[in-house]
Amino acid sequence: MQFTAAQIAMMINGHVEGSADTAVSSFGKIEEAAAGQLAFLSNPKYEEYLYSTSASIVIVNDALELKKPVAAALIRVPDAYVAFATLLEKYQQLQSQQLTGIQQPVYIDASAKIGDNVFIGAFAYIGKKVILGNGVKIYPNAFIGDNTIIGDDSSIHPGVTIYHDVIIGKNVAIHAGTVIGSDGYGYAPQADGSYKKIPQMGNVVIEDDVEIGANTIVDRATMGSTVIKAGSKLDNLLQIAHNVEIGHNAIIAAQAGISGSAKIGNNVMIGGQAGIVGHIQIADGSKINAQSGVSKSIKTPNTTVTGSPAFDYTAALRSQALARNLPELEQRVKALEKLLQELMQKV
């Protein structure tokens, strides 16, 4: 597909400097882009490439003041990074809209309800009483268990496994290899030292506009629901345990783990490899640094914690600064001890 600078500017509410008829058909990084490609500049560290890039069109911030002439047509917007992300999203939607129909072979139970403009890839399995909304994309080798509901315009990528009774909202993306609705980790210790499995009778509810990365696991609830609320974005390789609740617009980076029945507030940010114990609450707006271990509830909104066990970020920085100064402090203490001994001898 080919678009002119004028068409692109209309899509991202920008204005063109240079030829509005300049056309592009693909994307490129500003330092590597070729003629016929579109690039963007948001980080000042890359500004030097603006004056040498071969890109035909570059999206830039309104506030950028040019230091040299630029060969490319410019599209000015308030935030180039956000505008470029919006453009990529629209481009992806255009490509996705062309993907419809049912490939063969697939299995679709006779009781399943399939909406309009749905795509179902080869070797997919659609179970009993499944409901697929309009524009849903089920890619090859995906498994959709009985009684699952998937809302309009959601995408289930290759090799995803969705167990029974899962409810997925609109415009949700679940990437390859992820498992939704597997049994929660529940075992009751017995008198003889063995463990009896606790049946996991609940489900998983994923609200609108959620994105879940590849090879993430979201366990079903023991009773009730494991819930991921609207707008949250989950990275690859996460473990979300049974009965966890993740609030609106949460961001969770790769390899983090959230134990059973933990409640994560709205707009929480969790860094990679962080661990959160079960049955605690994380207040709205909290930020948890990478590799932190959170062992008790964070009750104050907008708190930032780090370390294991995690504690206040500012206090942790002060502790680290003191730790770096320990060798010098040791020498000062020894000097004071020596001075004290000399004074005692004189007395």
Is residue 226 within 8 Å of 212, Cβ to Cβ?
no
For helices 326-346 and 313-324, angle between their N-to-C axes, nearest 10 degrees:
60
Give the CA distances from residue 319 to residues 93, 147, 226, 323, 326, in Å, rounded to whole numbers and listed in that order.
49, 53, 37, 6, 11
For 329, the enclosing helix (H) or strand (E) is helix 326-346
Q: Which residue has the tokens 């001075």?
A: 339
Give the separation between CA 220 and CA 74, rounded to whole angstroms: 49
Q: Amino acid identity of 281?
A: Q
Cα 323 to chain centroid, rounded: 34
Q: Which residue has the tokens 């609109």?
A: 170
Give the separation between CA 343 and CA 341, rounded to whole angstroms: 5
**What is the β-pairing status of strands 149-150 and 3-4?**
unpaired
Is residue 285 within 8 Å of 301, Cβ to Cβ?
yes
Q: Would you tell me how many other CB atoms lie within 10 Å of the CB of residue 32? A: 12
Candidate list 175, 242, 248, 279, residue with the active-site label: 242
Is residue 198 within 8 Å of 187, Cβ to Cβ?
yes
Beta bridge partners of 203: 225
315 φψ region: left (φ > 0), alpha (ψ -120 to 50), beta (else): alpha
Give the separation between CA 17 and CA 2, rounded to whole angstroms: 19
The answer to whether residue 175 is catalytic is no
Give the separation between CA 152 and CA 282, rounded to whole angstroms: 31
Give the separation between CA 288 and CA 20, rounded to whole angstroms: 45
Residues serving a catalytic function are 242
